[in-house]
Copies of this chain bind each other. A is one copy, B any other.
Amino acid sequence: MVDVQAVLDGSRLDLSRMLTQIENQTETGQAALIELFPHTGRAELIGITGAPGTGKSSLVNQLAFHYRNPKNGEAPKKVAVVAVDPSSPFTGGAVLGDRIRMTALSGDTGVFVRSMASRGSLGGLASATAGMVQAFDAAGYEIILIETVGAGQAEVDIARLADTTLVVEAPGLGDDIQAIKAGILEIADILVINKADRPGVETTERALRSMLQLAHPVQRVFHHHGQDLIVDSPQGGEIPMWIPPIQRTVATDASGLPELLGHIADHRAHLEASGDLKRRERSRLAAELDLRLQQALVHRWEESLSPGAYDQTLDRLLDRQLSPQEAVKALLNGSLK
């Protein structure tokens, strides 16, 4: 049982119980999400992704600390961290590691950290993450940091949950790893080179710059008297296109953090001014709707299926009497009421 009103009133214990229900995708969790939904849509959603070894978790901790202890005179914000590891599809344990590290934040009731390892399908993970983000949003967390590890479709799916996505790199990762990141770069709103006190930082920055140009080929950047001139914004209009900035940081001593927070705020302002914030929210909700529709359609169809029809069709497939395409036709035509 979960007490939705207690979650809305700020009870950490009830929130924690609810998150477990949502993560396990129970009926209780689903029912709670329906009640919570009207209270969502207020939080700033920030995604942080990058390969293992980039120090991304320390960076997330620093970001959380700075939102809790702002230097610019603003009020502290409530911060939630959802750490997702889609790369470990079977093992139950949270590979993202020990949250006890977050000593600077421990005891601060304005921070809530939740780790999640993948348990089943990728679709299931993205949808559990979306549910958790909604729960934190409804519970009044103003900043939600969504941390994922790795590179690939899983990160892309989870990055779609965020308004602003940070892609974290570090000097000295192998060429192979750099190459693999080409895809993930294209989802970056801000590029971070963490561990920037290490050798090779210039090489990494140069590589990122040239990859950025590949990833955003519509932006023709001319070097003109030492300044970058951007032409051909495909949006046209008055709002210039967002060009992902590259920010160096050292998470262990927080250098570069104020600048990084500035880029995040700038990106948010850009999203609001351009209308992209509403567009991103719309496509996020559309993705959730599509997934749920798909599941519901399959479920309803399965219930209408006569017993044994599926297994018989599969047998004929194994015997090469039917192709998969013909099997689909046979199952759809024969079974639906």
Interface residue ranges, A against B (CB under 8 Å): 30, 33-34, 37-38, 40-41, 52-53, 86-91, 95, 118, 121-122, 149-154, 156, 174, 176-177, 179-180, 182-183, 186, 214-215, 278, 281-282, 285-286, 288-289, 292-294, 296-298, 300-301, 313-314, 317-318, 320, 323-328, 331-332
**Extra 8 A-B pairs, beta carbons < 8 Å, given A91-B215, A285-B324, A292-B325:** A30-B325, A90-B186, A91-B214, A118-B183, A288-B324, A293-B328, A296-B328, A297-B297
Chain B contacts of A183 at CB under 8 A?
87-91, 118
Of the candidates B89, B176, B314, B320, which one forms a contact with A156 in the assembled complex, judged by CB atoms under 8 Å apart? Answer: B89
Is A91's CB under 8 angstroms from B182's CB? yes
CB neighbours of A282 from chain B (8 A): 314, 318
Q: Which of A183, A286, A314 has the most CB of B within 10 A?
A: A183
- List the B residue with the shortest CB-CB distance to A95: B179
Chain B residues whose C-beta falls within 8 Å of the C-beta of A176 in the assembled complex: 52-53
Across the interface, which residues of B come within 8 angstroms of A30, CB to CB?
325
Question: Are A87 and B292 in contact, CB atoms less than 8 angstroms apart?
Answer: no
Q: A33: which of B278, B293, B323 is its contact (CB, 8 Å)?
A: B323
Given A118-B153, A121-B153, A153-B118: A37 in contact with B179 (beta carbons within 8 A): no
Most buried by B among A37, A149, A174: A37
Whether the pair A151, B87 counts as a contact (CB closer than 8 A) is yes
Cα distance, A278 to B318, chains bound together (Å): 9
Question: Chain A interface mostly helix, strand, loop or mixed?
Answer: helix
- Which residues on B sit within 8 Å (CB–CB) of A40? 320
Q: Could you show 9 A-B contacts with beta carbons less than 8 Å apart?
A: A41-B320, A86-B152, A87-B151, A89-B153, A89-B156, A152-B152, A152-B154, A292-B327, A294-B294
Complex CA distance for A218 and B317, rounded to whole angstroms: 33
Closest to A294 in B: B298
Oligomer: number of copies? 2
Bound together, the chains give a CA A300 to CA B52 distance in angstroms of: 42
Specify which of B86, B214, B297 is in contact with A298 (CB 8 Å cutoff).
B297
Shortest CB-to-CB span from A259 to chain B, Å, is 26
CB proximity of A104 to chain B, nearest CB, Å: 22
* In contact, B86 and A296 (Cβ under 8 angstroms): no
In the assembled complex, the Cα of A34 lies from the Cα of B286 at a distance in Å of: 33
Neighbouring B residues of A122 by C-beta, 8 Å: 122, 153
Docked CA distance A46–B313 (Å): 27
Q: Nearest 8 A-B pairs (CB), nearest first?
A: A52-B176, A37-B323, A88-B183, A122-B153, A34-B323, A87-B152, A297-B297, A89-B183
Q: How far is the CB of A298 from chain B (nearest CB, A)?
A: 6
User: Quick check: B314 and A285 within 8 Å, CB to CB?
Assistant: yes
CA distance A93 to B257 in the complex (A): 35
- Please tell me if the beta carbons of A324 and B37 are within 8 angstroms of each other in the complex: yes
Contacts A95-B180, A285-B317; is A52 near B90 (CB within 8 Å)? no
Q: Report whether B318 and A289 are in contact in the complex, using a CB–CB cutoff of 8 Å.
A: no
A318 CB contact (under 8 Å) in B153, B156, B285: B285
Residues of B within 8 A of A186 (CB): 90-91
Instruction: Give A295's nearest chain B residue, CB to CB.
Output: B328
Q: How far is the CB of A43 from chain B (nearest CB, A)?
A: 14
